[in-house]
């Protein structure tokens, strides 16, 4: 049971409360049943005591030498084997003289064992014996000395079946009552747990809103036990944004700091026409590409760790479709994206990745390019993904060279413009967000690019 509730505080509280309720009600039922049995047995004992005193009084009032117990004014003592019996035995004669109720018929009551029943202050001994028809009896007996009339053993017994039946009926009534009470208590505990944990659910919703980019922080009033956690979360979110912003500034400063010296080197090399100048210019361009690549990668890694960033995939792709339609008017570009899909990350990074792939597809396509976006099914709602599929009808790429195409700075065809960094940047950006880029054969006859990226849950 505890393993079943280990992953849920509400379930653990509910199971613990329900278990405690069951234990308490069970213990209370057992105690009340025992008390009721004691009360019923005490009532039977008192009733038998009255009959015992009546018999003793009859013997004391008798004038004949044998003693006369008479008859008790109770019809059950006259019915054969009714379960109610009395017996008076004169002990000072041999054989003992026995007088008994008509209910005993031809049977006799046994004596209580001496070791099992000690006399009380009135000389009465009580205990349980097996009577006629092998039925259990509760019996009281007392030895009295009537002087000249003799010594008598007076016994009164009654069946315990009546007490057992009363206790059984009490147990049934008590069980039904406690069962209804348990259901009400369990329902009340469920409501209490749900109400008590409602601030935690609100806090979770606020954190989800921050993660999805719909809120700047956790807002609202919380109980004293949770308010410090909400404040710490807001401080953590603020610190994260501050770190991201500081990293962006530092990366930008580094880019500007390197840009000027490289431009000076390139300009000075272009001013001369010599092998050294051409080599310097060539290497300076390589350095510029390398600096741009690693700065972009640093920016992406910084933005990927930001909290609350998200981008509307459909809107971003619609803008790209319009832009590339103007750049490549001869290419039939079609985009299909659900309107409720959102990328979990910075919009600029989504534009860079999708833009690079669409530009590459349009650049190599003969007449047609297709972009399809779909959500990927995942059992974990906190790790959802979307997939962009970009197809073209160009020359394609053999499987052996696809991995090489995603390496930094590799250009497999110098006839098209570019630096060879596009696919590698996309692959690195996707990896920074926990996604991936894959290349495959396209149904259109060219290359298919499969870009998997983290997504937000669809509302």
Q: How crowded is residue 296: how many other Cβ atoms within 10 Å of its Cβ?
A: 18
Tokens for 125? 């001994």
Same domain, 35 and 161: yes
Note whether 281 and 270 are within 8 A (CB): yes
Domain count for the chain: 3
CATH of residue 325's domain is 3.30.565.10
pLDDT digits (tens, 9 = 90+) for 58-96: 877 764 444 455 567 678 888 888 888 999 988 888 888
Same domain, 287 and 341: no
**183 domain-assigned:** no
Same domain, 363 and 299: no
**236 domain-assigned:** yes
pLDDT for the residue numbered 304: 55
Same domain, 378 and 434: yes
Final residue in a domain of this structure, among 124, 143, 165: 165
Same domain, 158 and 265: no
Final residue in a domain of this structure, among 243, 276, 304: 304
Tokens for 344? 């979990």
**223 domain-assigned:** no
pTM summary value? 0.50
**92 domain-assigned:** yes
Q: Please name the residue ranges forming H helices in 65-130.
A: none
Final residue in a domain of this structure, among 133, 165, 197: 165
Angle between the 227-270 and 198-211 helix axes, to the nearest 10 degrees? Answer: 10
Q: What ranges make up the beta strands (E) of 66-116?
A: 84-90, 97-100
How does pLDDT run along the chain (459 residues), one tens digit per residue?
Answer: 445 445 677 888 888 888 888 899 999 999 999 999 999 989 998 989 988 888 888 877 764 444 455 567 678 888 888 888 999 988 888 888 888 888 888 888 888 887 666 788 778 888 888 888 788 899 999 888 877 778 889 999 999 888 889 999 999 999 999 999 999 998 888 888 888 888 888 888 888 777 766 777 788 788 888 888 888 888 888 887 787 777 777 777 777 777 778 788 878 788 777 888 888 888 887 787 777 766 766 666 555 555 667 788 999 999 999 999 999 999 999 999 998 888 888 888 889 889 999 998 999 999 999 999 998 876 555 578 899 999 999 988 888 787 777 765 444 444 444 444 568 778 888 888 888 899 999 999 899 999 999 888 765
pLDDT digits (tens, 9 = 90+) for 29-61: 999 999 999 999 899 989 899 888 888 888 777
Same domain, 250 and 349: no
Same domain, 273 and 365: no
Same domain, 32 and 117: yes
Same domain, 233 and 278: yes
Same domain, 285 and 376: no
**134 domain-assigned:** yes
Task: Count Cα atoms within 13 angstroms, Cβ side, for 154.
Answer: 26
Spatial distance between the Cα atoms of 130 and 133, rounded to a whole number of angstroms:
8
Looking at the DSSP bridge assignments, the partners of residue 456 are: none
Exposure string of 212-235, with b = 16+ CB inside 10 Å and e = fewer, is bbebebbeeebeeeeeeebeebbe
Spatial distance between the Cα atoms of 214 and 211, rounded to a whole number of angstroms:
8
**221 domain-assigned:** no
Same domain, 327 and 298: no
Same domain, 384 and 444: yes
**Residue 356: is the preceding peptide bond cis (ω within 30°)?**
no
**218 domain-assigned:** no
Q: Which domain holds residue 255?
A: 229-304
**242 domain-assigned:** yes
Rg of the chain, C-alpha, whole Å: 49
């Amino acid at each position: 049971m505890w393993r079943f509730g280990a992953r849920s505080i509400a379930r653990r509280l509910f199971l613990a409360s329900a278990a405690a309720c069951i234990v308490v009600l069970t213990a209370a039922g057992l105690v009340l049943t025992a008390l009721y049995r004691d009360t019923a047995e005490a009532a039977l004992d008192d009733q038998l005591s009255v009959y015992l005193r009546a018999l003793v009084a009859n013997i004391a009032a008798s004038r004949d030498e044998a003693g006369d117990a008479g008859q008790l004014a109770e019809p059950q003592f006259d019915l054969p084997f009714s379960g109610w019996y009395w017996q008076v035995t004169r002990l000072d004669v041999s054989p003992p003289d026995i007088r008994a109720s008509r209910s005993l018929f031809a049977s006799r009551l046994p004596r209580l064992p001496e070791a099992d029943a000690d006399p009380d202050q009135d000389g009465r001994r009580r205990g349980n014996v097996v009577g006629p028809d092998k039925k259990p009896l509760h019996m009281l007996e007392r030895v009295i000395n009537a002087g000249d009339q003799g010594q008598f053993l007076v016994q009164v017994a009654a069946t315990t079946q009546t007490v057992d039946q009363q206790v059984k009926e009490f147990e049934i009534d008590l069980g039904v009552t406690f069962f209804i009470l348990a259901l009400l208590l369990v329902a009340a505990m469920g409501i209490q747990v749900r109400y008590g944990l409602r601030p935690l659910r609100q806090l979770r919703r606020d954190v989800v809103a921050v993660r999805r980019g719909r809120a700047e922080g956790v807002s609202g009033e919380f109980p004293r036990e949770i308010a410090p956690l909400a404040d710490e979360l807001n401080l953590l979110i603020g610190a994260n944004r501050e770190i991201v912003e500081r990293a962006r500034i530092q990366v930008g400063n580094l880019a500007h700091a390197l840009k000027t010296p490289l431009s000076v080197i390139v300009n000075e090399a272009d001013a001369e026409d010599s092998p050294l100048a051409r080599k310097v210019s060539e290497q300076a361009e390589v350095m510029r590409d390398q600096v741009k690549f690693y700065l972009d990668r640093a920016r992406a890694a910084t933005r990927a760790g930001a909290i609350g960033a998200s981008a509307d995939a459909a809107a971003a792709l619609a803008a790209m479709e319009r832009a590339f339609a103007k750049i490549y008017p001869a290419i039939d570009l079609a985009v299909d994206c659900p309107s409720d899909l959102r990328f979990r990350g910075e919009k600029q990074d989504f534009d860079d990745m999708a833009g690079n792939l669409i530009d590459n597809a349009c650049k190599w396509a003969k007449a047609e390019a297709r972009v399809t976006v779909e959500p990927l099914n995942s059992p974990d709602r906190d790790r959802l993904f979307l997939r962009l599929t970009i197809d073209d009808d160009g020359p394609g790429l053999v499987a052996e060279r696809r991995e090489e195409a995603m390496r930094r700075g590799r250009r497999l065809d110098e006839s098209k413009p570019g630096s060879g960094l596009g696919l590698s940047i996309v692959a690195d950006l996707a990896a920074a967000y926990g996604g991936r880029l894959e290349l495959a054969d396209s149904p259109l006859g060219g290359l298919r690019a499969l870009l998997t990226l983290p997504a937000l849950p669809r509302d």
